[in-house]
Every structure is written in C-alpha cells, then in structure tokens.
Structure 1
C-alpha cells in the first residue's frame, strides 16, 4: 500500500493517481500523466492544475512551456542507486523556478527522504514498509552538516553554506 507523506504528516485524501492502461482516474481523482501524454493533453487543451509523472530519463526542460499549468510534478525514483530524480528536482526548483508540489514516487526509502527534502521535493509516495513505520513513529533521520546548498532552508545550518548558489 502506498501512502502520501509530507513534513506535516500523512495525507489522507490525496487525489493524484498514476494512470496506466489498467488504471484510470475516477470520480474525485486526478491523473498523473507520463510526460508524452501530458504534453499531448496540454497541447490539446487550455487546462490548468494538471499533473505529470517524469521517468528517470525524461527531460525536465520539456516542461518549461507548461509549468504554469502544473499543480504537481511527480518524479520516479526507479531504484535506490538511480539519482536522476535528485537532478530533476534540482533543475525544476533552481533553474525553472517551479513552485508547486514536487513528489517522489517509486523506490522511496527512509534514508533518502532528508536528501529529497533538500532538493525541493515536498511530498512522498511511500510504499516501503520500514519507511512507512519510521514515518508513522516520527523517526526521520537527520543530517547535521551539508556541503551543498539546498533548495529549501535548513534550520541546522541556516545562514551558513560552504558553497554559493549560482
């Protein structure tokens, strides 16, 4: 079972679902479309408040003309060893100045969440049993010192950065 978690806790009624050939958004639900399907839908309508699901190999820059129409961007973390989602999050927040919800989906593990928060991801589709248990207990691991700047402010190192943001 997948549950949505934010820093404020678990979300009870999240409307976003990943559409597949077998699963379609029903009443009260909203679709997270794969990049190609999202661009096709965006070109065919003037809708706003849309959602897109980016795969690890998808080009984030393809979203630039549509960012004002997006309510949520979901990034797929296919495996623990695949860090492309971190780069996608950083590009969305820093280069494209995306301000709306940014969600991690896929293989979201408890020790990755603090790093994902630093890159600007603010919601998490968690299905890992250990991660779910630790989040329910409020046991999010912390990182005391950071070398790189973050997309979000960090109280522990606020005002001090070893590197400047470009």
Structure 2
C-alpha cells in the first residue's frame, strides 16, 4: 500500500510540474510582451507598458486573453491570442490592435496644425477699404475687410530659370 501511495504522489508531482495554471501563463505572456515592446524598434518609441494579461477563454490548445497596455498615462485593452507551440506557448496580437496610437498621434497633429493656423491668422493685419453701394437714389458707404499679409510689400521671388534673370 505504501508503494502505491508513493507512486501516486510521484505521479501527481510530475503531473503538476507538466501543467501550467492560467495565472502563471498570463504572467509569462505579460513578461514576454513587455520584453518584446522594450526590444523591438517598431515599439520602443511608444514606451508601452504591459500592466496585466488576463486569460478570458480557452479555445482548443490555445487561449484568448486581454492585455491592458499603458500608453501616455492611459490604459488600453488589446486582444492577445495564445497558442500552444511545442513545449511552450506563443502569443500574437492583431495588426489593428494599436489603432489607438494612430488616433492619438493624429489628434496631436491636428492640434499642432490648429495652433499653426491660429498663429498665421494672428500675423495677418485686417485692412478696411471703403466703397460705396448705390441702391436706387441712395448711396451707402460699405466697409469691406481685406486681409493683407505683413509681407505684401516684398517683391516676388522669380520662379523658373534663375539664370534667365541675371543676363
């Protein structure tokens, strides 16, 4: 009986070391993802931080997980596919999972363009020109606002073959 119990315990210990819990798998994938984001030149400039990986569904030999990424102080969830490969697991992320970065970068660019446009509009001086409008027998002065650039008095730069102007 002792030998049977000892054999059962050895089998249990061997079995436990072979299988991995979903929590341990999630921690391993989290570490692998963070190393990839730190080492891969495509991701380094974004300074992504993997906050958590949570396995949400088992599908055959693989898993579906949700990873919480931190980018510029905000958290974004992305889907991660985990598949059994050989003696371990591989993970992959869909190509469009990082669209939140594109949206943030586009918004920054739009704000920059708005600032430049506001600066350009501020550099233009409004000039009032008076004309008269005639309606039947009455004349009314009309004020028309015209914007002139501060550089209107500068002669235009020749375009084309510059050597033609120097001869």
Q: Verify same fold: TM over 0.5.
A: no
Query: What is the TM-score with the length of structure 1 in the denominator?
Result: 0.19
Q: Which has the higher helix share?
A: 2
TM-score with structure 2 length normalisation? 0.19
Q: Which one has the bigger strand percentage?
A: 2
Structure number with the bigger relative contact order (C-alpha 8 A, sep ≥ 6) is 1
